[in-house]
Amino acid sequence: MENKKIKIYIVEDYMLTRITYRHTLPKNNPNLEIVKDFETAESCIEALKNEKADVILMDLGLPGMNGIEATHIIREMDENVKIIILTSHDSDDEVLASLTAGANAYALKDITPDTLANVIESVNKGAFWLDPRIAQIALNLFQRIKSLNVDDMYGEEFKLTTRENEVLQLIVDGKSNTEIAKQMIISHNTVKAHVGNILEKLAVTDRVQAAVKAVKITLIKK
Q: Which of 51-60, 82-91, 149-158 has the lowest mean pLDDT?
A: 149-158
Whether pTM exceeds 0.75: no
Q: What is the residue-averaged pLDDT of the chain? A: 83
168-192 confidence digits (pLDDT tens): 888 887 788 888 999 999 988 889 8
Q: What's the CA gap between 97 and 49, in Å, rounded?
A: 24
Of 81-95, 133-147, 199-213, the poorest mean pLDDT is in 133-147
Per-residue pLDDT, 154: 52
**pLDDT, tens only, 108-131:** 999 998 999 999 999 999 888 888
Q: Are the beta carbons of 58 and 86 closer than 8 angstroms?
A: yes
pLDDT score recorded for residue 18: 92
pLDDT at residue 49, rounded to an integer: 92
- Alpha helices (H) along the chain: 15-28, 41-48, 67-77, 92-101, 113-124, 132-146, 150-154, 162-172, 177-184, 188-202, 207-220
Three-state SS at 166: helix
Is it the case that residue 142 has pLDDT exceeding 70?
Answer: no
Q: Is residue 73's pLDDT more than 80?
A: yes
| Residue 38 near residue 44, CB atoms below 8 Å | yes
Sequence-separated (6 or more) residues with CB below 8 Å from residue 79? 176, 178
153: nearest Cα among 140, 167, 169: 169
Does 212 have pLDDT greater than 90? no
Supply angle C-alpha 62, 216, 96, rounded to 5.
40
Instruction: Give the torsion through C-alpha atoms of 44, 46, 48, 49, to 10 deg.
Output: 180
List, in order of start, the domains of the chain with CATH numbers.
6-142 (3.40.50.2300), 147-220 (1.10.10.10)
Q: Which of 7-16, 143-152, 200-209 has the lowest mean pLDDT?
A: 143-152
Q: Would you place residue 9 in the very low, low, confident or very high pLDDT band (cuts 50, 70, 90)? A: very high
Residues 121, 31 contacting (CB under 8 angstroms): yes
Least confident range from 72-81, 91-100, 166-175: namely 91-100
Given a cut of 50, whether residue 83 has pLDDT beyond it is yes
Q: pLDDT-based confidence at 100, cuts 50/70/90?
A: confident
